[in-house]
Structure 1
């Protein structure tokens, strides 16, 4: 596959996917922009360099801000440092933030853009599979607190997303595989073709240069784009994108974010598959398919790091919960996600026992 693919997110923005597209950053920024804050993870100086060069060659005033890697970026202290930089540089409402990095960087930089002067443009250049297929698309921004993940945040749609597939060649294999958990999620909730591509050749899907990886990335972005365009503020349909995340976020919090997001989501998907089977919504074959597809990618399907009681409190702080009622996204058949509200605690415990044996 050659050339760039443009995937529209309704009439909000475009996601550009292809090889060597980072230097097109200027094309997606509003013409009014004079200053740009380029936020990148500290290890990603080389990945950010083509973006910085393209912006400066276009005559823009560029300020570069390295931030800690992974979840360590998503703190109020890091955000405050960026606000200070923007204030000292005189950023106005028509200036912009460009985020170069994984999902943590785009989450945090997006929140800084959303809160500076009550909102300035942000453009994302994700450098991981997870960032490309999930975090950078859809306008969710946020930081973590001691109480949980992404509990502070806002909706702030980017003006564009550049997914340069060339950056994946330098991604550690474990990070690439972890990002594929979000791709698998898209297969189960909306596009089974994703699962078929993975099952046909799981090794090809983990090859950064393969057409198979590009296909599943583009398909997962298209899934998210359709859902987000129909529900920008997560009032109904968009909740399906949280498939596997209720338990997944609880595990991440328990592990102090030492576990990769995709690994935790993989566990969460197996958990809700077990839950759906016990609720009479799916059969054992579909539960088994969850374990098989995730296992093909080297992702975990079982967890013994915590008791159900240790994870329960964190699940009750999940954004989908309402009062004391736990709400889960489950399947009512392949590619048919629904909400399951207030399941019996014994059923929850049985589903968790099935992944913690």
Structure 2
């Protein structure tokens, strides 16, 4: 089992990756000074697979534990569902030392983390990510949020977990499309900060698609280290951490404009394609880099273009991006494979050109 320490002073924590990670649940009360009541937040699909196992481990560790399952999907990441969870926490008698455990993918982690950050001004938060997307991205770094009808993740906070437990075997039940959506974030980490990770993804697609546990443990650990290194230097996204949003500026616009027809990873893949084209047209990277981006996305069955929305729709949602300051979008662009930079002076015609090249309007 791999252990990755995220050094954030008082908010430091450890990410456990590999077979046997769930066993760490039985040790929670040894050193964390937690109350004896725990709420497990999951969705109906994941809860049916792993909920009983997690609840039983917590109960054997001495926690009075209950589980609340939400409907799967992005629609659950709302203030209304958060209010239901607050009600559950109050009815259970959770106090300021009672842990809230997120068992699920990115939606569950974001929602449960937001509730943990705001219930009684903050209670202990534990992450058990069950999707590849959550394991390599949303469970690391402390971003928690719910959506607003006018945009994704507009209501949120930075709130670090006490511990993250990543069990690769949980990926065995993941559908191929959802597995691919997590691979998009692995690819992103290689593109922005680790050319060797990118090369490993290029050559090991067979073992990755077969969900080889040794391969996945290594790649997930490596990806978590990349994100942890960035978060340690810039926890609140003041500067460096913005590079983790590569592909997300266009990606969030794609999600909203296409009414969430595309998964998060699929939308980010389209966004990375668009950002690579902007990078090339700004003279930051070569056509070869764009080709490499397109090739690896295609290799992992990720889309390059969005269908069913217009360039104008995408442009409207871009201006609502939370990285837009004083009307200027902070673009994360590529200098090449493994190197990213943030720019906010990109000419509008270059952005429009790139959007037209990744959009099928019919």
Could you say which residue in structure 1 is the equivalent of 2:7? 10
The CA deviation string for residues 4-30 of structure 1, in whole angstroms up to 9 with x for no partner, is: 100111141111000232232243462
Range with greater deviation from structure 2 (262-271 or 55-64): 55-64
Deviates more, 1:297-306 or 1:161-170: 297-306
Paired position in structure 2 for 1:200: 203
1:181 aligns with 2:184: yes
For residues 254 and 277 of structure 1, do their structure 2 counterparts lie closer, same or farther at Cα, with a shift above 3 Å needed? same
Matches of 1:176 and 1:192, distance apart in 2? 22
User: What does 1:1-357 correspond to in 2, within 5 Å?
Assistant: 4-11=1-8, 12-28=12-28, 30-45=32-47, 46-356=49-359
Are the equivalent residues in 2 in contact too, given 1:124–1:162 (CA < 8 A)?
yes
Distance 1:162 1:208 in 2: 18
Aligned residues: 354
Q: Is the 8 A contact 1:6 1:14 kept in 2?
A: yes
For 2:178 and 2:155, the matched residues in 1 are separated by 25
Distance in structure 2 (CA, Å) of the matches to 1:28 and 1:248: 37
Give, in angstroms, the shift of residue 355 of structure 1: 2.0
Equivalent pair of 2:130/2:167 in contact (CA under 8 Å): yes
1: distance between equivalents of 2:34 and 2:305? Answer: 51
Question: What TM-score do the two structures reach when normalised by structure 1?
Answer: 0.96
- 1:135 to partner: Cα distance: 0.6
Matched residues in 2 for 1:320 and 1:299: separation? 25
Aligned residue for 1:37, secondary structure, equals strand
Structure 2 residue runs of 5 or longer lacking an equivalent are: none
DSSP 3-state at the match of 1:343: coil
CA shift at 1:142, angstroms? Answer: 0.3
How far apart are the structure 2 equivalents of 1:269 and 1:27? 40
Determine if contact 2:51/2:67 at 8 Å carries over to the other structure. Answer: no
Aligned-residue CA RMSD in angstroms? Answer: 1.3
* Moved segments of 4+, more than 4 Å: none
1:339, distance to aligned residue in structure 2 (A): 1.1
Q: Which moved more, 1:289-298 or 1:255-264?
A: 255-264
CA contact (8 A) 1:281 1:331 kept: yes
Q: Distance in 2 between matches of 1:344 and 1:27?
A: 54
Distance 1:151 1:203 in 2: 38
SS class of match (2:152): strand
1:47: Cα distance to partner?
1.4
* 1:269 positional shift: 0.3
**3-state SS of the aligned residue for 2:100?**
strand
Q: Deviations over 1:110-136 (max 9, x none)?
A: 000000011001000000000000011
Q: Indicate conservation of the 8 Å contact 2:26/2:60, yes or no.
A: no
1:248-287 superposed Cα distances (whole Å, 9 cap, x missing partner): 0001111222311000000000100000000000000001
Q: Distance between the aligned counterparts of 1:309 and 1:258, measured in 2?
A: 18
**Paired residue secondary structure (1:138):** coil
Deviates further, 42-51 or 314-323: 42-51
**8 Å Cα contact 1:114/1:154 also seen in 2:** yes
CA shift, 1:313, in A, is: 1.4
